[in-house]
Chains A and B, each alone.
Chain A
Amino acid sequence: MNKTFDRYASILFLMIGAAFMLESFRIAKSAYGSNVGPNVFPFLLGLMLVLLSIKLLLETLKYNAGHLSKKKLQYKKFLIILAAAILYAMLLEPLGYVVTTFLFLIIGFQTMEKGNLLRTVFIAGAFSFGVYYVYVEILQGTLPGWPVWFS
């Protein structure tokens, strides 16, 4: 278990729980024929999340700091791929599946392992066209295929 990570996670979830509690005040309090309004569950669950986060926070204080096996995490690669994934999700509809997947795969492959650009382009192209063909033509699925101005 990672002490720092758990501590930050507990604070994050503490804030999420508190936000749910606060926001639940803006929901109507009464429901027709029932004393339990729609605001009760979010409020109670938020409270439970807050209490549990505090419990986790207290538990992190008791972790023995001895076994710090510092393994270098690849944050740079992670951030590049995370950004690429978010862009991928946002551009999927305007640009279409084939183009975005092709670009995303090239970025992904090159970040994970730098090297042969030609092979990357070939694999990414084959994958994006292949999956599109199998999914849309053979399995009759729906995907935004190409940019609107292209097809």
Chain B
Amino acid sequence: MDVINFLLDGFQTALLPHNLLFAFIGVLIGTAVGVLPGIGPMSGVALLIPVTASMTGGLEPAEAATSSIILLAGVYYGAMYGGSTTSILLNTPGESSSVVTTLDGYQMAKQGRAGSALSIAAIGSFFAGIVALIALTLLAEPLSEVALKFGPAEYFSLMLLGLAAVSGLAGNSMTKAWMMTVFGLLLSTIGIDAVSGVARFTYDISVLYGGLEFLTIAVGLFALGEVFKAILHKEQNEGEVAKVGRILPSKQELKESSGPIVRGSLLGFFVGVLPGAGATLASFFSYILEKKISKNPEKFGKGAIAGVAAPESANNAASGGAMIPLLTLGIPGSGTTAILMNGSAHYV
């Protein structure tokens, strides 16, 4: 089986000592980034792309590229997990995909079960990561065969679907989402037109000929927007730090959360594959699903461990699923994968 060979080959590369070190650094930074409210996975990955270039500078170009992608992917996954910590302990989600975790996670922390909640979040994230990895390997090949048959017309339709999905699923005002989508497209027309070579909106300013850099806009809008919002509202955080207590979950809790973890992983993965529907949506879906099929739905919101396990697995599986359209079709399924694509494009 070719797939298995490639998978083993991948493990061989990933398990090299220096790559393990890079993965560790990435996950460490990512978790720290996820814990801090305001800096989500998106700005974390964006900020670290230039740093990876210099960190891997001593290696051969091909190896450097592999190590940088490992580091960035580590940041991505770490941030997806790190967001749950503050959700559970402080009732403050570190990023949008762990908003649902606060519902039950903080309740558990108040009951003195913060340790179990944290460990279930970690176990769920780990399991979901493995599921997403296996599915990624199995699905990538058939999908990439489809991708080879894609022509300009298909790509155009897929991009259009992606843009429509992103705007349609975003937030509470669809008009605003559409406005920002169109505004972003307008900004991308600045610079030299790729088809005709005509300079658009450059006004003889030489820096503008190259167009606006995607990273600059992403960092400027997301990071600065969050900072300015924090200054304007100057949130006084009155949450108390809950006691962690025992770290390992009890047998009963493990039993209760195994089902939600499996279901959350599978659901999250498939939601992640869809362009536009990201980890946030996956976590909400899986929480709703668990509440629907649960025998006693009234326990949700009052510290049900399934309410922590399912969304945390789902958001990690979704980040794996989002890799599929990125790696096979070159279409990012979420903001973070768009930045990851930009990062890998530096090395290709």
User: Which residues of A are in contact with B by a Cβ distance under 8 Å?
Assistant: 1, 6, 13, 16-17, 20, 23-24, 27-28, 31-32, 34, 37-39, 41-42, 45-46, 48-49, 52-53, 55-56, 59, 71, 73-75, 77-78, 81-82, 85, 112, 135, 139-141
The answer on a CB contact under 8 Å between B183 and A81 is: no
Which residues on the B side are within 8 Å of A75 (C-beta)? 232
B228's partner among A27, A45, A78 (CB-CB below 8 A) is A78
8 A–B pairs (Cβ distance < 8 Å), ordered by A:
A31-B195, A38-B195, A38-B198, A45-B189, A52-B182, A55-B175, A56-B173, A74-B231
Whether B196 pairs with A31 at a CB distance below 8 angstroms is yes
* Contacts known (A13-B179, A49-B183, A56-B176); A42 close to B232, Cβ less than 8 A: no
Chain B residues within 8 Å of A, Cβ to Cβ = 50-51, 54-55, 57, 172-173, 175-176, 178-179, 182-183, 185-186, 189, 193, 195-196, 198, 200-201, 224, 228, 231-234
Given the complex of chains A and B, what is the CA–CA distance between A78 and B227 in angstroms?
10
Residues of the A chain whose Cβ atoms lie less than 8 Å from the Cβ of B54 = 139-141
Closest Cβ neighbor of B178 among chain A residues: A52
Of B50, B198, B224, B232, which is within 8 A of A27 by CB? B198
Q: A42-B200, A74-B232, A141-B51 are in contact. Are A49 and B182 (CB under 8 A)?
A: yes
CA distance A1 to B172 in the complex (A): 9
- CB-based contact B233/A1 at 8 Å: no
A28 to B178, CA, bound (A): 28
Chain B contact residues: over half helix, strand or loop, or mixed? helix
B186 with A141: CB separation less than 8 A: no
Please judge, given known A-B contacts A55-B175, A59-B175, A112-B231, whether A37 and B185 are in contact too, CB under 8 Å.
no
CA distance A16 to B163 in the complex (A): 21
Question: Which residues of chain A have C-beta atoms less than 8 A from B200's C-beta?
Answer: 24, 27, 38-39, 42
Q: How far is the CA of A23 from the CA of B203 in the complex (A)?
A: 10
Nearest chain A CB to B209 CB, angstrom units = 14
Q: A20-B186, A45-B185, A46-B186 are in contact. Are A38 and B196 (CB under 8 A)?
A: yes
